Amino acid sequence: MHTCTGRISMHEPNLQNVPRTFSIPLHYLSLNQVTSEDLMEFNCRNIFKAAPGHVMVSADYCQLEMRVLTHFSEDPVLMRIMKSDVDVFKSIASSWSNLPEEEVDDDLRQKAKQLCYGILYGMGNKTLAQYLDVSEMEAAAFMDSFYNTYPAVRRFTQSVIDDCRSKGYVETLTKRRRYLPHINSNVLYKKGAAERQAVNTTIQGSAADIAKAAMCAIDTKTSGSAPQPRLILQMHDELIYEVLESNKNSFIAVLKQVMEETVKLRVPLPVKVKTGPTWGDLEEVRII
């Protein structure tokens, strides 16, 4: 299955939606001396275990969609941030709010992150206000101040919409097209939805292109391995493999290199690697 943007989706069952944790009221388990408010928490992902002698290896692109946005917009401030070894959203919050990074608290960082994804997903002021838990007027002010800090982003998103109005479609990084016939509609809500879809498809669709290219390149690179590492799940920007434990380190080196270098953007595409015996027990691997 795939979405309109090109992302892979799943159903029956949708493993992409397996939660990290699940809570059960203890009184359901017929335990003594517990109240209805007492909960036992389970890590649902521990159910998924690697085969004997194997481990799971997860590789996740860091802020992939933000890096695609930076690549397309070429905003100089975002380019500098993405090329630095920093907390991306903390740095964005710092430049947006004109504060030193050490003064950026978790709340401000989270607002900057939500603003970024609001732009990526084409959120209007009303939806953004709900995410930020502020009024629509405040959300509009936040959005305007963000665009004023990163003017190249505004120019890019507007150019995507204008181009779509002219051609009737948008293209991803690999030139996949999505036609949006309502982009020139006289019905405002249809036109607005098409404008949001134009920006979202360009960014999210390009991120999907990168993930798919990496999957194919990894399969080709490891085709001579015995046994070949097995892709067991694709979680948007994350790939999860099952690999023979004795081959783990060599595979991690190949996996990271291929994912970071298969597609070249104007900014780096760093990958975070984790490994463990189950999906729920993955721990980050420090690669020097």
Q: Is the pLDDT of residue 129 over 70?
A: yes
Q: Among residues 60, 75, 209, 237, which one is catalytic?
A: 60
- Identify whether 60 is a catalytic site residue: yes
pLDDT tens-digit series, residues 131-140: 888 888 888 8
Quote the tokens at residue 199.
């920006």
Cβ-proximal residues to 283 (8 Å cutoff; 6+ apart), any chain: 274, 275, 276
pLDDT tens-digit series, residues 219-272: 999 988 778 999 998 888 899 999 999 999 999 999 999 999 999 999 999 999
> DSSP 3-state assignment of 38?
coil
63 C-beta neighbours (distance < 10 Å), count: 20
Q: Is the pLDDT of residue 10 over 70?
A: no
Mean pLDDT of 73-85: 93
Mean pLDDT of 166-186: 96
What per-residue confidence (pLDDT) applies to 131? Answer: 82
Quote the tokens at residue 132.
């930020």
What per-residue confidence (pLDDT) applies to 130? Answer: 86
Average the pLDDT over each of 4-13, 55-64, 75-84, 135-144 and give the range with the smallest value: 4-13
Q: What percent of the chain has pLDDT over 90?
A: 57
**Domain boundary assignment for the chain:** 15-47, 54-63+212-284, 72-206
Domain 72-206, CATH class in plain words: mainly alpha
Q: Do 54-63+212-284 and 72-206 have matching folds?
A: no
Q: Report the mean per-residue pLDDT for the chain.
A: 87
Q: Is the pLDDT of residue 161 over 90?
A: yes
What per-residue confidence (pLDDT) applies to 249? Answer: 93
Q: Which fold has domain 54-63+212-284?
A: Alpha-Beta Plaits (3.30.70)
**Is-contact 199 122, C-beta < 8 A?**
yes
